[in-house]
Copies of this chain bind each other. A is one copy, B any other.
Amino acid sequence: MFKDSDFKTSPDVPGPTKEEIRCLVICKSNVKKDDIVVEIGCGTGGLTLEFAKRSKQVYSTDKNPEAVKITRQNLLEQELLDNVNLYEEDALKLLESAPKFDILMVGGSGGDLYPIIEKASTKLNPGGRIIVTAILMETKTQSISKLKELGFIVEIIEVNISKGRIIDRGTMMFSQNPIAIIYTI
């Protein structure tokens, strides 16, 4: 895994997804060397880089030009740009134009969660998986209900991690905000 501090960040772009969450997403995604990954909402590029390192090709988009820019910088710095096609366009357009894929990674849906999942479900290769990381409560319930409706077997974990700061007086724990990972199996 990359360290959180490996990433350049921008004040206008959320992320990067914390190391521990990236680790769990990668485990749950079961990504393999010849997988095609489509990512909606790259943010700072945290998951983009992790998938790029472990798959054949990543197609990633974000509506926020600043997000695309910072993700490109992070990919460049880690020499992973060759593996990634970066777009600054509508998620549904990318899902239309992209080849069939093995993994859909939704890091942010810009209010289009339902059509994104519906469209993606028609372009998944056999054995393909859909993963959503959710910080909004509503994204959790909507992902589950739409994926169930489409016939997927869905699981969800909610992750609360706190990290120690080891000081002279002892060890203080600092919480990361809770995040849910919804994934099909």
Contacts and interface: CB of A to CB of B under 8 A. Distances in A.
How many copies of this chain does the complex contain? 4
A175 interface: yes
Nearest to A182: B164
B27 A171 contact: no
Contacts of A156: 163-164, 166, 171, 173
Contacts of A111: 169
A85 interface: no
B171 A174 contact: no
Given A27-B23, A166-B144, A166-B154, A160 B137 contact: no
Interface of A: 1, 19-20, 23-24, 27, 111, 135-141, 144, 148, 154-164, 166, 169-178
